[in-house]
Amino acid sequence: MIIATLIAAGRLRDSDLARAVEIAGGGEARWIDEGDAADLLLGPVEEWRDLRDRLEDGLPGIDVIVQPVESREKKLLVADMDSTMIGQECIDELADFAGKKAEIAAVTERAMQGEMDFADALHARVAELNGLGVGCIERCRTERVTHNAGARTLVQTMRRRGAATLLVTGGFHDFADPLASELGFQEVRANHLESMYGHLTGKVTGAIVDAAAKAKALTDRRDQLGIAPGEVLAVGDGANDAPMIKEAGLGISYRGKPKLEAIAGARIRHNDLTALLWAQGIPKAEWAKG
């Protein structure tokens, strides 16, 4: 059996459910949270992506997630950091302290669009930070970085229900480790900025966390837990998240770039990160307080 979940927090109407049934050519609509999210229960669907696209086109402003009923509630959450769990690209904000935000942000955008090799882009951007005082990292983190709406509720709810959580980012431990503690992630994979005598050297140390490393982090943790691919939820926004998204049972593009949206199983364009809880059939009454 297939479920199509319709999500439009505070805006979903009975008429939207009726329209969804019409588009799908049948099915049984059930509220998860009235006015916020509902499920459309369907029989076997051969072209589920086509159904998703038709529902999205026919229901403007509503996020649609189509997936099998089996393993709907996930046992592992793997999430990107920049522009996914937080609203910023940390390296762009850090570059602002060096007076180089515009040029570095342009390179970040090319990398996220999949127009530039991620590792090359990372090395080029970090090199521009050579000589920046390490004290700027903490200032940047506390003054510039904000959680995306629903991030903590998502992570805490899944943790409380027994899921494992992994934050995996092409960004830096200086930002990712404190964020993981704030949100409730159990593990972190990130890059290391090199510093010497209180200043950044313009280099990263150790293996680069790129697209392949993100996907491997997911599969390694999945295998350690002994769970099936269908029991994994992954979410990201950039082209470098694509391999990770493909590995997940439910791979979600969160307000993502076109190359990621093209391959993701689901696209969250209108709602915040709590949509990922409704996607798993979890009503608000069972959410952890954010």
The whole-number pLDDT of residue 45 equals 77
HEC letters along 101-126: HHHHHHHHHHHHCCCCCHHHHHHHHH
Q: Work out the pLDDT band at 289, boundaries 50, 70, 90.
A: confident
Active site residues: 80, 82
Residues 6+ apart with CB under 8 A from 127: 202, 203
Q: Which residues contact 16 (CB under 8 A, 6 or more apart)?
A: 6, 8, 59, 62
Q: Is the pLDDT of residue 260 over 90?
A: yes
Angle at 48 between CA 271 and CA 231, to 5 degrees: 70
The per-residue pLDDT for range 188-236, each reduced to its tens digit, is: 999 999 999 999 999 999 999 999 999 999 999 999 999 999 999 999 9
Provide the pLDDT for residue 221. 98
DSSP 15: H
β-partners of residue 40 are: 4, 29
pLDDT of residue 290: 64
pLDDT (0 to 100) of residue 1: 87
Domains of the chain in start order, with CATH, are 1-70 (3.30.70.120), 73-290 (3.40.50.1000)
Q: Vertex 82, ends 200 and 93: CA angle to 5°? A: 45
Distance CA 234, CA 266 (A): 10
The answer to whether the CB of 239 falls within 8 A of the CB of 250 is no
CA angle 140, 237, 144 (to 5 degrees): 15
d(CA 21, CA 288): 31
How many CA atoms lie less than 13 Å away from 132 in the CB half-sphere?
26
pTM: 0.95
Question: What percent helix, strand, coil does the chain show, rounded to 5?
Answer: 45, 25, 30
- Report the alpha-carbon distance of residue 5 to residue 275 in Å, rounded: 10
Q: Find the mean pLDDT for residues 17-39.
A: 97
Per-residue pLDDT reduced to its tens digit, 40-88 = 999 887 788 999 999 999 999 999 999 999 999 999 999 999 999 999 9
Give the closest residue to 264 by CA, choosing from 276, 272, 281.
276
Residues 154-198 have pLDDT tens digits of 999 999 999 999 999 999 999 999 999 999 999 999 999 999 999
**Mean pLDDT over residues 34-42, rounded?**
97
Angle between helix 151-160 and 173-183 (nearest 10): 60
Distance, CA of 269 to CA of 98 (rounded, Å) = 33
Question: Within 10 A of 47 (CB to CB), how many other CB atoms are there?
Answer: 9
Instruction: Kindly report, residue by residue over 97-155, the tens digit of the pLDDT.
Output: 989 999 899 998 998 898 999 999 999 999 999 999 999 999 999 999 999 999 999 99
